[in-house]
Amino acid sequence: MTEKIKLCDLSKCYGCRACQVACKQWNQLPAKQTYNSGSYQNPPDLQPNNWVVIKYQEISDGNGGVKWLFRKDACMHCTDAACVKVCPSGALYYTKQGTVGIDNGKCIGCKECVAVCPFGVPKYDSKADKVSKCDMCLSRIENDMEPACVKACPTGALQFGDKAEMLKAAYKRVEVLGGDATVYGDKFVGGTHMVYILPEKVSVYDGLPEYPRVPLNVIAWKDWLKPLSLLAVGGAIAGSFLHYITHGPKTPDEDGNQVNAKGGE
Partner 1 sequence: MRKGMIKATDAFERIIHWGLAISCIVLIISGLGMMYHSFSFLSIPVGGLKNLKYVHNFTGLIFIVALLFSILMWWKEAGIFKFPEDVEWIKAAGGYLWHVDNVPEVGKYNPGQKIFFLAVALFGVVMAVSGLIMWFPLSLPVVWVRTMYFLHALGFFVITPFFFVHLYLGTIGSPGSASAMFSGWVTRAWAKKQHPKWLKEMEESGKLEVYGE
Residues that bind ligand SF4 (CB under 6 A): 75-78, 81-83, 86-89, 91-92, 100, 107-113, 117, 119, 121-122, 131, 133
Report whether 5 contacts 147 (CB < 8 A). Answer: no
Q: What does 256 bind: ligand SF4, ligand HEM, partner 1, none (CB cut-off 5 to 8 Å by kind)?
A: partner 1
Q: What does 143 bind: ligand HEM, partner 1, ligand SF4, none (CB cut-off 5 to 8 Å by kind)?
A: none
Query: Which residue's CB comes closest to ligand HEM?
Result: 110
Nearer to ligand HEM, 115 or 169 (CB): 115
Report whether 23 contacts 134 (CB < 8 A). Answer: yes
Residues 98-117 that bind ligand HEM (CB under 6 A): 110, 112
Q: What DSSP string describes 99-147?
A: SEEE-TTT-----HHHHH-TT---EEETTTTEEE-----HHHHTTT---
Residues engaged in binding partner 1 (CB under 8 A): 86, 88-90, 106, 108-112, 114-116, 120, 124, 215, 217-218, 220-221, 225-226, 228-230, 232-233, 235-237, 239-240, 243-244, 247, 249-257, 260-265
Nearer to ligand HEM, 29 or 110 (CB): 110
Residue 263 CA neighbour count, 13 Å, CB half: 1
Nearer to ligand SF4, 177 or 213 (CB): 213
Report strand pairing: 194-198 vs 4-9.
parallel
Q: Least separation, in Å, of the C-beta of 6 and ligand SF4?
A: 12
- Distances in Å between the Cα of 223 and the Cα atoms of 107, 119, 218 are 22, 21, 8
Q: Number of helices and strands (H, E) in the chain? A: 8, 10
Question: Distance between CA 134 and CA 130 in Å, rounded?
Answer: 14
* Contacts to ligand HEM by CB under 6 A: 88, 110, 112
